[in-house]
């Protein structure tokens, strides 16, 4: 809801603010403008090979939107979330070309309108293409292409690190599978960014009880800036994120029993 904080009269027309001043009482009326927007989630599926298991599916996700163009300024979003969407496509290519075919299905999901409130993924979880009860897990990748850089930590200290967010909340089975798969990649997992657990698309699935992992390489000075551009991407980290989720997905798809849930989610 857009409400202007300045008290000049110009804002009346725009936001429908009416100011009544009478003897010290101030009444504010706010008008709400709503509009319907089409959010094109892009979803693809590699169908499982086992007739009894293929109804169960593993999701691999990212978001395909960013902040667009503001005036003449373009926000490229190379890391947020060009890196994640590229990693989803790399994982898809590897799974399709692999000699080892998944028994359970794999669903590749690039959500729209994440930046304006996880709108695309919320729409999907409210109108799923496949029953959410059959969704074994969602492996989300949002910003997997940079070395974390903060006031306390230079990027040079974070070449091998990546945050593994939310993996212990619903299924320790999924967490354990991610840890064991990482033996082949050698990421240094960090667990100090649970604060972003609700800030990307997996949150809508977790709310519905779907086990999730969220790979996030961390914040940096170009976050939500026009300077989030491709020449700064660590392509090895991006590719390793795709490789890690390839390993997790193929094992989750082919293990005899489905990944167990420990908690109801949320």
Q: Which stretch binds Zn ion (CB under 5 A): 42-50, 75-83, 87-95, 213-221?
A: 75-83
Q: Counting contacts by CB under 5 A, is residue 222 touching Zn ion?
A: no
Q: Which stretch binds Zn ion (CB under 5 A): 141-149, 207-215, 241-249, 254-262?
A: 141-149
Q: Counting contacts by CB under 5 A, is residue 80 touching Zn ion?
A: yes
Q: Which stretch binds Zn ion (CB under 5 A): 26-34, 72-80, 177-185, 223-231?
A: 72-80
Query: Between residues 81 and 173, which has the closer beta carbon with respect to Zn ion?
Result: 81
Which of 36, 208, 214, 212 has its CA nearest to residue 126? 208
Query: Between residues 142 and 173, which has the closer beta carbon with respect to Zn ion?
Result: 142
**Closest approach of Zn ion to the CB of residue 63, in Å:** 6
**Closest approach of Zn ion to the CB of residue 82, in Å:** 10
Q: What residues numbered 173-202 form the site for Zn ion, per CB under 5 A?
A: none
Contacts of 75 (CB under 8 A, 6+ apart): 66, 67, 68, 69, 224, 225, 226, 228
Q: Counting contacts by CB under 5 A, is residue 142 touching Zn ion?
A: yes
| Angle at 127 (CA atoms; ends 122, 128), nearest 5 degrees | 95
Q: What residues numbered 25-54 form the site for Zn ion, per CB under 5 A?
A: none
Contacts of 247 (CB under 8 A, 6+ apart): 181, 184, 185
| Three-class DSSP category at 63 | strand
Angstrom distance (rounded) from CA 187 to CA 208: 29
For residue 2, what are its two tokens? 């857009």
Residues binding Zn ion (CB under 5 A): 80-81, 142
């Amino acid at each position: 809801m857009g409400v202007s904080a300045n008290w000049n009269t110009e804002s009346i027309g725009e936001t429908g603010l009416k100011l009544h001043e009478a003897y010290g009482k101030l009444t504010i009326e706010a008008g709400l403008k709503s509009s319907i927007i089409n959010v094109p989630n892009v979803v693809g599926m590699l169908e499982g090979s086992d007739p009894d298991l293929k109804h169960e599916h593993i999701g691999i996700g990212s978001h395909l939107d960013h902040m667009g163009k503001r005036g003449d300024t373009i926000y490229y979003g190379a890391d947020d979330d060009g890196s994640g969407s590229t990693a989803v496509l790399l994982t898809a290519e590897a799974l399709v070309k692999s000699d080892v075919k998944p028994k359970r299905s794999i669903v590749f999901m690039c959500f729209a309108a994440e930046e304006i409130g996880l709108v695309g993924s919320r729409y999907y979880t409210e109108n799923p293409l496949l029953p959410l009860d059959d969704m074994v897990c969602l492996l989300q990748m949002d910003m997997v292409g940079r070395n974390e850089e903060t006031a306390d930590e230079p990027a040079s200290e974070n070449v091998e690190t990546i945050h593994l967010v939310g993996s212990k909340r619903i299924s320790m089975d999924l967490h354990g599978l991610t840890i064991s798969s990482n033996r082949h990649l050698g990421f240094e997992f960090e667990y100090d960014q649970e604060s972003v657990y609700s800030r990307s698309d997996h949150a809508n699935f977790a709310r519905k009880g779907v086990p999730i992992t969220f790979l996030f390489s961390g914040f940096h000075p170009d976050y939500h800036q026009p300077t989030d551009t491709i020449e700064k991407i660590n392509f090895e980290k991006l590719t390793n994120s795709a490789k890690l989720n390839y390993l997790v997905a193929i094992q989750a798809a082919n293990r005899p029993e489905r990944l167990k849930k420990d908690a109801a989610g949320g």
